[in-house]
C-alpha cells in the first residue's frame, strides 16, 4: 500500500430524475454540500449535457448516468488532461469486463469498434494555477435498445450482446478503477497513466485518415502531449499538433 492513498467513500445521491447530474453536482458544490468523491446518479436526465453544447440521449432507467467530484488541488491546470485520462481508462476497463474491442477515441470518447458507447463531460474549476474542483460527468450506454437522436454512431452493451446488464455492477467496477487511478495520480505515477492511455487509444497504430482545416490526409498517431494535444506524424515524418476539435478521424 502506497503512503498517499486517499480513502474515498463516496456520498451518493440517487435520483429518479434531474435536469443533468453535472448541474445537480455543481449546485451541491455551490451550497457547500459536496466533497471529494460525492457522486450523483440519475435514472433519467431531462437536459443531459453532451460536449460542445450537444444534448445527451438516454432512455429512462436504461443507462448509467452519473457525475463524480474530485478536488485535485495538487494538479496544475496545465496537467488537467490527466483527469480525462484516468476517467477514460476507468470506463474502458469497466466495459472490458463485458466486451472486447473497446478503445479510447482521443480525447475522451469511449468506442466499441467504430461506435461510441460512452461520452464524458468534465468541467474543471481552477483556483490560481491549480485545479480546485473537477466535475466528471459520464454517460455509459448500457441497456438502451434504440437511439433516436441524430448522434452519429451510438451503441449500447445491449445492442452488442443482446443481454441486459446490472448498472450498479458497472458503477462498482468503475469506482474501483477510478479510485485506483486517482490514487496513482496522487502518488505521481503519471507515466503509468500516460502509457496505459496511449496503449488504449482508438487507431493507435498504423496510418489512418484524418481531416483538418486543410482537408484529408493520412497520418499515424505519434503521441499525446501532457496538455492533451494530439501529435500526428505524416508519411514524410512531419509532425502536426492539434487541440480538441482541430482535427477529426475520417470514418
Ligand atoms: C459527450 O457529448 O460525449 C459527453 C456526454 C456526457 C453525458 C453525461 S451523462 C451524465 C453527465 N450529466 C450530463 O448532463 N452529462 C454527463
- CA nearest ligand 1 atom 15, residue: 49
Which one of 19, 119, 144, 202 would you pick to mutate in the ligand 1 pocket, going by the greatest count of ligand atoms within 8 A of its CB?
Answer: 119
Give all strands (DSSP E) within the chain, no chain letters.
12-18, 39-45, 64-70, 102-105, 109-112, 115-127, 130-140, 207-212, 215-224, 230-233, 239-242, 248-249
Q: Please identify, by atom number, the ligand 1 atom nearest to the C-alpha of residue 54.
A: 2
Q: 217 C-alpha vs ligand 1 centroid, how far in Å? A: 31
Q: 76 C-alpha vs ligand 1 centroid, how far in Å? A: 24
What pLDDT sits at residue 188?
96
88-126, pLDDT tens digit by residue? 999 999 999 999 999 999 999 999 999 999 999 999 999
Distance CA 149, CA 215 (A): 28
59-79, pLDDT tens digit by residue? 999 999 999 999 999 999 999
When pLDDT is cut at 50, 70 and 90, the band that residue 1 belongs to is very low
Distance CA 196, CA 211 (A): 26
- CA nearest ligand 1 atom 2, residue: 50
Q: Global pTM?
A: 0.96
Q: 116 C-alpha vs ligand 1 centroid, how far in Å? A: 13
Amino acid at each position: 500500500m502506497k503512503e498517499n492513498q486517499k480513502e474515498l467513500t463516496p456520498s451518493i445521491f440517487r435520483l429518479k430524475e434531474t435536469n443533468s447530474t453535472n448541474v445537480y453536482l455543481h449546485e451541491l458544490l455551490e451550497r457547500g454540500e459536496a466533497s471529494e468523491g460525492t457522486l450523483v446518479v440519475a435514472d433519467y436526465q431531462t437536459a443531459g449535457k453532451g460536449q460542445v453544447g450537444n444534448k445527451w440521449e438516454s432512455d429512462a432507467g436504461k443507462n448509467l448516468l452519473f457525475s463524480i467530484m474530485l478536488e485535485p488541488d495538487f494538479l496544475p491546470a496545465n496537467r488537467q488532461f490527466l483527469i480525462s485520462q484516468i476517467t477514460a481508462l476507468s470506463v474502458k476497463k469497466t466495459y472490458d469486463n463485458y466486451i472486447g474491442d473497446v478503445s479510447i477515441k482521443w480525447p475522451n470518447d469511449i468506442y466499441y469498434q467504430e461506435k461510441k458507447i460512452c461520452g464524458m463531460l468534465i468541467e474543471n474549476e481552477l483556483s490560481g494555477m491549480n485545479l480546485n474542483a473537477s466535475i466528471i460527468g459520464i454517460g455509459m450506454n448500457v441497456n438502451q435498445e434504440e437511439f433516436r437522436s441524430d448522434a452519429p454512431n451510438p451503441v449500447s452493451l445491449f445492442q452488442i450482446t443482446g443481454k441486459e446488464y446490472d448498472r450498479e455492477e458497472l458503477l462498482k467496477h468503475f469506482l474501483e478503477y477510478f479510485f485506483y487511478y486517482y490514487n496513482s495520480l496522487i502518488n505521481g505515477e503519471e507515466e503509468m497513466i500516460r502509457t496505459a492511455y496511449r496503449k488504449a487509444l482508438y487507431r493507435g497504430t498504423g496510418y489512418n485518415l484524418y481531416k483538418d482545416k486543410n482537408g484529408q490526409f493520412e497520418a499515424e498517431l505519434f503521441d499525446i502531449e501532457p496538455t492533451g494535444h494530439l501529435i500526428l506524424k505524416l508519411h514524410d515524418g512531419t509532425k502536426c499538433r492539434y487541440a480538441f476539435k482541430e482535427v477529426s478521424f475520417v470514418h
